[in-house]
Amino acid sequence: MTERYWNKITAELLAGTRESDHPFRYATLATVGLEQVPRLRTVVIREFDPEEVQLIFYTDSRSKKMLHIKENNKVSLLFYHPEKLLQLRMEGIAMKERDGGTLARHWSGIKPESRKDYTVSQTPGTEIKGPDQLEYVERDDFFTVINVHPFRIEYLQLKRPNHIRVRFSKDADNWRSEFLVP
């Protein structure tokens, strides 16, 4: 009975990677490092593999989120579709992609003007006098691909007469599901 909600999850996540204006293109990523303070930021979901149930986003290797992922690779993602009143909460393990061919494939898919986001000479979060004070390097050393492998996904659909909440949890290689009180 919960399969239809799983299918909705995968369809919306796939749409987020294919449609630039889809709300699931962006997610709020939460990390917790050694400081034990949750940190939130928005990331762009670049790929979703429904077979492997894996998400990909990009970042600068020097960013605070990378330090947090090294310290504690358990992360949460939050998606919200305002028109459909649909929320997805996802918990998973974040891992840095290390395969050179995969990294090159992702790098080659980035528009030249967008590559600048990963070639700033200063570390993200460094204080500068203004936005025009950025300096760039001619290499891709800081470009990082992060794979998130979810182990729990909660689907919440706000609707009348009843809201619908379903939790999907991964056990070994299988996903199980149950309805929850919204």
Angle at 100 between CA 99 and CA 106, to 5 degrees: 95
How many residues are given for the chain? 182
How many CB atoms are closer than 10 A to CB 153? 24
Q: Report d(CA 6, CA 155) in Å as an integer.
A: 8
What does the pLDDT average to over 61-87? 96
Secondary structure of residue 18 in the 3-state scheme: helix
Q: Report d(CA 74, CA 68) in Å as an integer.
A: 9
CATH, range 3-123+133-180: 2.30.110.10
Q: Identify the pLDDT of residue 59.
A: 95
Cα of first residue to Cα of last residue in the chain, in angstroms, is 17
User: Residue 178 — pLDDT band, cuts 50, 70, 90?
Assistant: very high
Task: Enter the tokens of residue 112.
Answer: 């030249």
Q: What sign does the CA torsion over 72, 58, 97, 7 have?
A: positive
Q: What is the CB-side half-sphere exposure of residue 8 using CA atoms within 13 A?
A: 19
Angle at 6 between CA 165 and CA 16, to 5 degrees: 100
Q: Identify the pLDDT of residue 130.
A: 85
What does the pLDDT average to over 22-42? 95
Mean pLDDT (the chain) is 93
Q: Where are the domains of the chain?
A: 3-123+133-180
Q: Identify the pLDDT of residue 113.
A: 86
The yes-or-no verdict on residue 62 having pLDDT over 70 is yes
- Asked whether the bond before 161 is cis by omega within 30 degrees of 0, the reply is yes
The yes-or-no verdict on residue 8 having pLDDT over 90 is yes
User: Residue 95 — pLDDT band, cuts 50, 70, 90?
Assistant: very high
- What DSSP state is assigned to residue 84? T
Residues 6+ apart with CB under 8 A from 134: 120, 121, 122, 128
3 backbone dihedrals φ, ψ, rounded to 5°: -60, -35
- What DSSP state is assigned to residue 9? H
The yes-or-no verdict on residue 140 having pLDDT over 70 is no
